[in-house]
Amino acid sequence: MPVRAGNGHDHTVPARLRMVEQQIVRRGVADAAVLDAMRTVPRHEFVPPESEVSAYDDGPLQIGHGQTISQPYIVALMTELIGPRPGMRVLEIGSGCGYQSAVLAACGCVVFAVEIDPELAAGSRERLARLGIDAVSVRRGDGALGWPEEAPFDACLVAAAPETPPPALFDQLRTGGRLVIPLGADEQTLYVFTRTRDGWERRRVLDVRFVPLVGLADDDPSA
């Protein structure tokens, strides 16, 4: 489903095009679908009003509840790493404000997004619906558990860092599926795991900085 990025007088289009050329293409992201999605999805719709002026800057932004919207380059890179294609079923963990979900949907993916914070999950649902993005399902839940009812997935993208990969995320990928995930506590590294018939292949990508992946027991002792 195409993203409704606003009317024909959207004054943010030049900033979005500059963002892609200066921050993303120059750093080596080349997947045409990813670049088109980054040019299309209105990032300013996913940040708090006071941060809209910085929506297309080269860095992460606070979105409340101790969470951030990732740097545009990191969003594009992680999307490219899963090898997006139309109809691909993607599990997204730590969906936050919904921006990464929207980029995946703009690449033609069908997205199942899990967010632990109930307010962020509700806000993401509302925002995606308002923008006409109907290829994303959002639920509040423990990201480490994935979404077993919808498995298997072609890929899993994790936007929060555990110290080790949650086993459930491996279990919910089909053979050939990719898990893109940051790992570590004080020092974090982005990895791509690919499921094979005999196990897993792992590739290190680069050093990153994400919020930690927490479970429901960490977020809400009564859950």
pLDDT in tens, 181-195: 999 988 899 999 999
pLDDT tens track for 16-61: 999 999 999 999 999 999 999 999 999 999 999 999 999 999 999 9
- Phi then psi for residue 57, to 5 deg, are -75, 165
pLDDT computed for residue 64 by the predictor? 85
* Residues in contact with 149: Cβ distance below 8 Å, sequence separation at least 6, in sequence order: none
pLDDT more than 90, % of the chain: 86
pLDDT band at 206 (very low <50, low <70, confident <90, very high): very high
Map out the domains of the chain as residue ranges.
13-219
What CATH number does the domain located at 13-219 have? 3.40.50.150
Contact criterion met (CB below 8 Å) for 66 and 26:
no
pTM: 0.91
Active-site positions read 70
Helix (H) or strand (E) holding 24: none
